[in-house]
Amino acid sequence: MVNKVADPQNDVNNKAALPHGLLITALTVVSYCVAFAFEAGFADYYAIPYFFIEITVTQILIACASVLSSIYVFYLLAAFINPFWSSLWKKIPAPVKPRVRIHLSFVLMTVLFMAIAGFSIPELTFFWIIWGIAILFDFGLPILPRSDIKGYANKVLYYHQQDLSYDTVLDKTVKVVGFGIFINSALFFVLIAMSYMSGLGVAKKQETFFVSNKDANIVLLHKYGGTLILAHIDRSTKEADQLVVHQLDSQFQLSFRNEKIGPLHVKR
């Protein structure tokens, strides 16, 4: 009987293999979710049911590349902006910083989603009104009535200390799940939201469609595997008012031509 001698290098490799495997698995799951969110955003614009959606390996690979490149670009921008932002951040009074951080994050995320999805500023009027009310309550109404505290800065400091004296739901959640899990989960949902809004924006801004050669009012909206999602459109109003599902069959062929007729609107 031969006794096997343990190789320390193999032990190190085995320990490192598990995190690498988990990382690859997590990246695959995230990429699939990002790809599905994009297709869901596209489908929602045209009122296409989700059960038609099929995610291919190519879409997962594209989503994976998009996730990795987005992370890389984010770190590059962060490294570029950090010197300027640090000097500006130091000038903001400490009691005001938590509120400024929340409102600035909200504005940046709204502008980002607006740009990705192709929404105009008037279309987001409701969000800007809510943001204005939030600013009013955060920096105005709860602070100004305090007549026993003199000076606006002192009032801000007082309410900042009050905020630190108790834990919010967010604080309790971070303590329970841990900061690392919380921030990674938040980033995951941001990626999903951005992918969904991106798919919605692509559908909203699409101008070129495949038009049936037999009927100029029939256009191809999307292809899922062997299923074609067609729509009957009104060219005068550019509205798609009826979805038609067609299964590809070798005995019955459809021919299309590429034509600029969009962007289209869906008649709800």
What local confidence, expressed as pLDDT, does residue 268 receive?
A: 65
Asked if the model's pLDDT at residue 12 lies above 50, the reply is: no
Q: What is the mean pLDDT of the chain?
A: 78
* Residue 41: alpha-carbon gap to chain centroid: 10
What local confidence, expressed as pLDDT, does residue 97 receive?
A: 75
SS3 state at 210: strand
Over residues 159-206, the pLDDT tens digits come to 777 777 776 677 777 777 777 777 778 888 888 888 888 888 888 888
Q: Is residue 84 in a domain?
A: no
Q: Is residue 235 in a domain?
A: yes
Q: Is residue 229 in a domain?
A: yes
Q: Taking a C-beta distance cutoff of 8 angstroms, is the pair 200, 42 a contact?
A: yes
Dihedral sign, Cα of residue 222, residue 223, residue 224, residue 226: positive
Mean pLDDT of 51-65: 88
Q: How far apart are CA 140 and CA 96, in angstroms?
A: 12
In terms of pLDDT, which residue wins out, 254 or 228? 228
Asked if the model's pLDDT at residue 13 lies above 70, the reply is: no
Retrieve residue 107's tokens. Answer: 């504005």
Q: Is residue 237 in a domain?
A: yes
Q: Is residue 114 in a domain?
A: no
Over residues 125-160, the pLDDT tens digits come to 777 787 788 777 777 766 666 677 777 777 777 777
Domain region containing 238? 206-266
Asked if the model's pLDDT at residue 40 lies above 90, the reply is: yes
| Closest CA relative to residue 28, chosen from 70, 68, 73, 1 | 68
What local confidence, expressed as pLDDT, does residue 1 receive?
A: 47
Q: Is residue 23 in a domain?
A: no
Total domain count, the chain: 1
Q: Is residue 172 in a domain?
A: no
Q: Is residue 258 in a domain?
A: yes
Percent of the chain with pLDDT over 90: 4
Q: Taking a C-beta distance cutoff of 8 angstroms, is the pair 219, 209 a contact?
A: yes
**Strand 265-266's sheet: what is its strand order?**
256-260, 208-212, 218-224, 227-234, 239-247, 265-266
